[in-house]
Amino acid sequence: HNSMPVSASLLVSRGITGGLSAETGLTYTYLHTEFEGTRSTADCRWHYIGIPLKLRLKFNTSQRLSFYGAAGGAVDFPVYSSASVHMKKGVPELTGGRFSSPVSWSLSAGLGAAIKLSDHLEIFLEPTLQFRFDHDYTVPNVWTDDPVGFSLPIGLRFNM
């Protein structure tokens, strides 16, 4: 059973022309999976720090609220991955404790809304559809079980 990924971002955006801008920054993502095998159960957790690179196009803006579309890619680096394993019988399917996870590459597209807090700072919510490229995971998670997934990033964006 995979839980929906949870992400929080701190982004910097730079206007290119009109409503078009480029953005990058840091994104923290938390993944959680409960695995049930015939010999054991496991509670698996992943923590990633990602670097997104996106283009964003505003299509409706008011004094404080803006709506936009965004598309781009990201690379996510594993920070910490662990599993708590409980045996039912025999040898468990997974080993408990820390385990290694690969770097993850993805493409994404989403629609977002942002509330302007000051001339250079806004808070955003950006429902996003992602495609994850195939990776060599030892422990399955939401990114391996379904390479096309949904995330709901929230965060702060600094506009330059």
pLDDT digits (tens, 9 = 90+) for 130-158: 999 987 777 778 888 888 988 887 888 89
- Confidence at residue 114, expressed as pLDDT on a 0 to 100 scale: 95
What is the pLDDT confidence band of residue 3, given thresholds at 50, 70 and 90?
confident
Cβ atoms of 148 and 134 within 8 Å: the answer is no
What the block records as the tokens of 77 is 């680096």
pLDDT at 35 over 90: no
Nearest alpha carbon to residue 57 among 105, 20, 94: 20
Nearest alpha carbon to residue 51 among 21, 79, 17: 79
